[in-house]
Chains A and B, each alone.
Chain A
């Protein structure tokens, strides 16, 4: 059923007009990347230079966007691809795939004191910071967003966030990374050695630091020492990092930045969703809409009537299929009313479950039609 809705009445339509940064957040596997790409595509189709920055797109989607496995290159989507997908005009759509490791390396190269760079990049604690420390992927995605934004080459940037188990980790990321750069702990640990001027691998000891000595029984003294050394090596970056983290936070709370929450119609993630919404609000970050993706639609009464007209074996097959659809749709609509209740007054937008994965521009364009309410689900019916 198609209902043309005036642009101003659609929350995501308003978001495209008002914002120059959109951040898609949600749990893993809910279709964030698809929603992010569909938003950028629509914005580009309206003539705005738009970039979607994705973290880990499905291969076919990445291919259709022209993204190779190599990261961080902003690539323009070919006009003929867009035309084939039925996207009007010569939409200036760009896409990139974030390479978190490389972005961290660039960050260190830019901000670390020159004599410390190699030492940091080669340190195994740095390797684990860049690849495994919880929050570091999320943080570096925000850092990249900030870089892209400050270059002012795009009218809209849509950031797809990493597939975290917990969407909230995203917001906590700057704090966690800031904690990491806080080197009071390293000073404390190494104080006896530093004070005695015995800074060296051979003579290192925790001196009279009883707590440190005990801790080293658990971790091994060398582990602690190496971590402390790393902390000191990056100590020169602490201030610039703090400054940057503040700027990143400001960008997320900026007037022209909005969040788009993405979820699927499932009861399981519902508490986290409302918590996420609350935390965003507490941090003065605006939420454009909550997108409920992959909603299953119920059959119409006329479908049941038509099925009943068919000969026996076929009728049974059709009815079994209709019943499964009915059950699926019922479950989804129950979940959606709970989600709606918990997330008021955030506008809720439903995107139906398509029969296949969205893996090309055409699918993205179809998704956008639902996001922008040109094509709306009415009463959850198919």
Chain B
């Protein structure tokens, strides 16, 4: 399998609280280190990724943050304005139209136009060229919305291409759809936890994505607990109820970690990368570095 980092577009998604942003941040370290000009894109996010990287917020403009690393936080108004100016060319027209009360109303309710424009902006940068004709970015890492929202967000172009009548918008969504559905360009990484609900949701999410012609290519199983106590250890602890309970709970954690891995790998037939559970007071750059190196190893093992 070609490395995940050789794709052009890497979409990171998963249920809230699974560590999606931590994985995005780790990829933001790995991409540049592989020599990829990497753009990390939060979608109307809370700047969690930049926070984890220990750098100042990305903001709505693309900016270079380190060698081979650029960040942006795509926001609906700014993206809408960019899109409109691209089509209307004149600032004064933009104002006349977009400051109209009724127009604001329609923009809110045309199905997911805001999301579409944000996704459109992200994908636009994928095709941007430098003056010498090479691509401005090699890799775009997209911190996609959480499960549920992710399905509707990512399938937006497909849905709209069926419903929107022919015209400018239709051409736009068709182009986006083609990019998202092209397995050579785009990969979706599903981030999850070794617990029942997140695992089930990941299975559902993967099925929903496949049904919509999108391609989950890897599962990142976060907060994984490797086995520590053997059967003999438990025998040793018999008659010491507190220590026994501590050891048994750890075994339970390790067992559910293993079960989660087996279920995900068996059902989805995708590689499952495991990231050890960490116990820091708060996640920051140091933990992201550790996770990045583990993720890097796991990715290498896949090649």
Contacts and interface: CB of A to CB of B under 8 A. Distances in A.
Interface of A: 27-30, 58-60, 124-125, 128, 132-133, 163, 165, 179-180, 182, 184-185, 188-189, 210-211, 214-215, 217-224, 226-227, 264, 266-268, 299-300, 302-303, 306-307, 310-311, 314, 317-318, 320-325, 327-328, 330-331, 334, 355-357, 359
Nearest to B96: A211
Contact of B88 (A133, A217, A221): A217
A307 to B, nearest CB: 6
A324 B96 CA distance: 59
Contacts of A211: 96-97, 100, 102-103
Interface string B245-263: 0110110110010000000
A52 B101 CA distance: 41
Interface of B: 15-17, 48, 83-84, 87-88, 93, 96-97, 100-103, 105-106, 108-113, 145-146, 148-149, 152, 163-170, 195-198, 200, 228-229, 233, 236-237, 240, 242-243, 246-247, 249-250, 252-253, 256, 279-282
A132 B111 contact: yes
B206 to A, nearest CB: 16
B102 A220 contact: no
A181 to B, nearest CB: 10
Contacts of B108: 179
Contacts of B103: 211, 215
The 8 closest A-B pairs by CB, nearest first: A220-B167, A222-B165, A327-B279, A128-B111, A185-B102, A185-B105, A28-B16, A29-B17
Of the listed residues B48, B166, B229, B279, the one surrounded by the most CB atoms of chain A closer than 10 A to its CB is B279
B281 A330 contact: yes
Given A185-B106, A227-B109, A357 B196 contact: yes
A132 B246 contact: no
A322 B246 contact: yes
A260 B281 CA distance: 27
Given A317-B228, A357-B197, A28 B15 contact: yes
Contacts of B109: 125, 133, 179-180, 227
Of the listed residues B84, B111, B145, the one surrounded by the most CB atoms of chain A closer than 10 A to its CB is B111
Contact of A357 (B15, B195, B240): B195
A321 B247 contact: yes
A371 B2 CA distance: 51
B148 A303 contact: no
B102 A328 contact: no
Contacts of B250: 321
Given A224-B106, A355-B252, A124 B163 contact: yes
A314 B281 CA distance: 26
A28 B165 contact: no
Contacts of A28: 15-17, 146
A323 B165 CA distance: 61
Of the listed residues A28, A58, A211, A218, the one surrounded by the most CB atoms of chain B closer than 10 A to its CB is A218
Contacts of B198: 29
B112 A132 contact: yes
A330 B108 CA distance: 44
Nearest to A230: B109
A355 to B, nearest CB: 5
B153 to A, nearest CB: 10
5 contacts: A28-B146, A128-B111, A321-B228, A321-B246, A324-B279
> Interface majority SS on A: helix, strand, loop or mixed?
helix
Contacts of A189: 102, 106
Nearest to B256: A356
Given A215-B106, A306-B240, A314-B233, 19 more contacts: A28-B16, A28-B146, A165-B145, A214-B97, A217-B87, A217-B88, A217-B168, A218-B83, A218-B87, A220-B165, A222-B165, A223-B169, A310-B236, A325-B246, A327-B280, A327-B281, A334-B281, A355-B252, A357-B196
Given A165-B146, A327-B281, A357-B195, A320 B88 contact: no
Nearest to B196: A357
A310 B282 contact: no
Given A211-B97, A314-B236, A327-B280, A227 B106 contact: yes
A24 B172 CA distance: 41
A163 B148 contact: yes
Contacts of B149: 165
B243 A318 contact: yes
A228 to B, nearest CB: 8
B152 A220 contact: no
A354 to B, nearest CB: 10
A221 B15 contact: no
Contacts of A328: 279
A161 to B, nearest CB: 14
Contacts of B197: 29, 58, 357
Contact of A60 (B152, B196, B229, B281): B196
Contacts of B146: 28, 165
A47 to B, nearest CB: 32
A36 to B, nearest CB: 15
Contacts of A30: 17
Contacts of A330: 281
A266 to B, nearest CB: 8
B84 to A, nearest CB: 6
A163 B145 CA distance: 13
Contact of B169 (A219, A323, A325): A219
A132 to B, nearest CB: 6
A197 B196 CA distance: 60
Contact of B247 (A58, A222, A227, A318): A318
